[in-house]
Amino acid sequence: MADRYDAIVVGSGAAGSNMAARLAAGGKRVKILEAGTARGNEHLVSSTLWARRLKWTGEPVLEDGANPVGHVFNAGRGVGGSAMHHYAVWPRFHAEDFECRTRYGRGLDWPISYDDLQPYYDRVQAESGISGDAAQETWRPPGEPYPMPAVPLFAQGEIIRRGFKVLGMDTAPLPLAVTSTSYNGRRPCIWDGWCDAGCPIGALANPVTIDLPKATEAGAELDTDTQVVRILTSDDGTRATGVEAVGPAGRREIFADVVVLAAFSVQNPRLMLASATAQHPEGLGNSSGTLGRYIMTHPAGLIYGLFDEPTLPYMGAFGGQLVNQDNYGKESHAATGAFGSYQWMIAQAVKPNDLLGIATTRVDLFGQALHDFMQRAAQGFATMTAVVEDMPVAENRVQLSRDEKDAHGVPLAQVTHTTDPSSKALWDQVLIEGQEVFKAAGAKEVWTGPQGAMHIMGGTIMGDDPKKSVTNSFGQTHDLNNLVVAGPGLFPTSGGVNPTFTVHALTARSADHLLANWPA
Amino acid sequence: MSYSRRQFIRDGGIGLLTFQLAGCATQLTPEQAHGAGVSLKKLSGTEAKTLAALGEVLLPGSAEKGLVEFIDHQLAAPVEEQLLMIKYVGPPPPYDGFYQGGLAALNQAAQAAAGADFANLSTERQTKLVGEMAQGKLENWGGPPPPFFYFVLRNDAVDVSYGTKSGMESLGVPYMAHIEPSTPWEAG
């Protein structure tokens, strides 16, 4: 029967590909709809310029607030979504991240605990492969050791680690979903710092390498250049029945028992808001009024330094070589009004140009002074980045633009984000600490960057209370249990770590539940 | 000449772009395009002259590296294939107005400050104006926010100068491409 499936998955990024692979392996007939173009590892090119084509190129997202989420930079377009340019830093959330409201009286609680998610973290890391050294991560929550040895340490990492040691702080190899050795038929990484441009040799665990092949081998169908413009519902408004999509063959309706939205934290709520009906006048899954709310983005703390020693800053992975989570506890800087968790990602591989490149760290320089700086920095530059928790704020939200629509008549997303004062205070403190580390390491010059926006989470948060959240712990919307959300949009809090590992673990848990309790 | 879309994308990323030269589609690096004097599609003669002069102040040598040809080529490309860094940080496309408006504003400011277009000022005067642009202190400016225009154009100059294989190698940075270009960056 044409255009009828067990499940439609909207989006082929990390969450969508993972969900599709699991549902298809479970015997379900799955259709993946990807708004962007087809792409395989063979299409990736090692170039900071070419890498920009992996970023968002879809309909504009309107941004406002004091600290915009940086949608174009953080999102992706095309097969694999933003995971095609992600840096594969895969730490776990900590137990306190799931119980922020209960333990501290701030933020929100998740409807699950770390213990609920731990088996899924363990399963996913075996499937996708993570390189690391669990024993050295003294702060790591319980779990199986990593399946691959730690990533290698290059000069930049050695030098910065020296500063942490002087200050009595620990470092451990950064847990990376990158192969440090051959793994499940994948080649080991050659540590050339091109992660941001995608990984054509399959060393980095992106959807094109891991989950999409599994999905298609299990029978899932993938339609590219196909944009979903509306979610269809039954006449009585109790169920999602499919989607309306525009693709190469024009506009069509596709039907399924289950509709999974995996189009990232902004487009998911946009589509749900734009699919309002008489039964759901404020948007699908929005009886609580929280749809689109609690958008979060990690404030990035950027530390830079110049050393006399050669740092080989171009070697390694884009995500870094080492990690420090000594101060992950949410009240480490409480005396300053700061609240939240953070980690240091240490010694990122850098290129001369691009937004995260060496030249951009000193925007005050131009002319011959810039040339001179580039010559020095190419040999002695070092950097590390703090992932700082962004406390959830209801006013930070995705709404529909009142005035602007895309080519298919769907209102554009308007995203408002201003960092909570307690998160901003933490970011301030983190920058002080980072500069002290670099000075202790012997840097001749130390400077910092502006507040970056890293990752986008929230907007379709999960929770136990249908009056205060959009979905249950499995991503099923409280209002229509066969309309499922997957991805970082489900996070009620952001933690102080990168989200992609947790996205995979949540998706695996959701898929297990759906297969065992199919909402047909 | 058969030239697939995939080939276009790959070569475009590494450095080769398709320019019109003597009526024929020809693959060139921006630097080669500059040397060959390709005709521009988006920028006027005055805009190109202003952009080249600005590039030389921002990062000397960038005009020779094809800054004008690179930006003009990218403005003429489909949005999903554009490589300009403004995609990360700027308003929604198209970006023609940003570049053309900024260049016009620069000439407007130069005229007000020194009675001539930016390209015709002394290097000293140009450098002073760019410094004021970077700090947002430029007067008689009617374009995009001056520090933002400075930021974007400076990064464009860095892209053509150091974002290439030869540019990285000039810094002693090995390029280490996973996928080598089908034609060397510095061909010809």
pLDDT tens digits for range A146-183: 999 999 999 999 999 999 999 999 999 999 999 999 99
Instruction: Output the six-digit token pair for B72.
Output: 């003009």
Higher pLDDT, B165 or A325: A325
- The residue type found at B4 is S
- Asked if the interface predicted TM-score (ipTM) of this complex is over 0.90, the answer is yes
pLDDT > 90? residue B6? no
Q: Distance between CA atoms of B126 and B53, rounded to whole angstroms?
A: 8
Contact flag A364-B134 (C-beta cutoff 8 Å) = yes
- Cα(B106)–Cα(B134) distance, integer angstroms: 12
Q: How far apart are CA A440 and CA A457, in angstroms?
A: 34
| Residues of B (109-148) whose Cβ lies below 8 Å from A | 127, 130, 134
The per-residue pLDDT for range B27-75, each reduced to its tens digit, is 667 777 777 777 899 999 999 999 999 999 999 999 999 999 999 999 9
- Most distant pair of Cα atoms in chain B: their distance: 51
Residues paired with A113 in a beta bridge = none
Is A499 in contact with A488 (CB distance < 8 Å)? yes
Q: What is the pLDDT of residues B75-130, one digit of tens each?
A: 998 887 888 999 888 788 899 999 999 999 999 999 999 999 999 999 999 999 99
Residue position matching structure tokens 């070589």? A321
Residue pLDDT, tens place only, A15-40: 999 999 999 999 999 999 999 999 99
The reply to whether the predicted model has a pTM over 0.90 is yes
Among B13, B154, B172, select the one facing A49 at the smallest CB separation: B13
- Which residues face A30 on adjacent strands? A7
User: What DSSP letter does each residue of A33-62 carry, written as one string?
Assistant: E-SS----GGG--S-TTGGGGGB--SS--E
Radius of gyration of chain A (CA): 22
The model's confidence at residue B173, banded by pLDDT at 50, 70 and 90, is very high
Q: Which residues of B touch A50 (CB under 8 A)?
A: 9-10, 12-14, 83
Give dist(CA A122, CA A145) in Å, integer: 8
Nearest CB among B171, B173, B178 relative to A46 is that of B178
How high is the mean pLDDT of chain B? Answer: 83
Q: Quick one: A162 exposed, middle or buried, by C-beta within 10 A (0-12, 13-18, 19+)?
A: middle
Cβ–Cβ below 8 Å for A351 and B172? no
Query: Is B16 an 8 Å CB contact of chain A?
Result: no
Q: What is the SS3 assignment for A346?
A: strand
Decide if A53 and B81 are in contact by the 8 Å CB cutoff: yes
Residues of B in contact with A48 (CB under 8 A): 159, 163
Shortest distance between the Cα of A488 and any Cα of chain B, in A, equals: 21
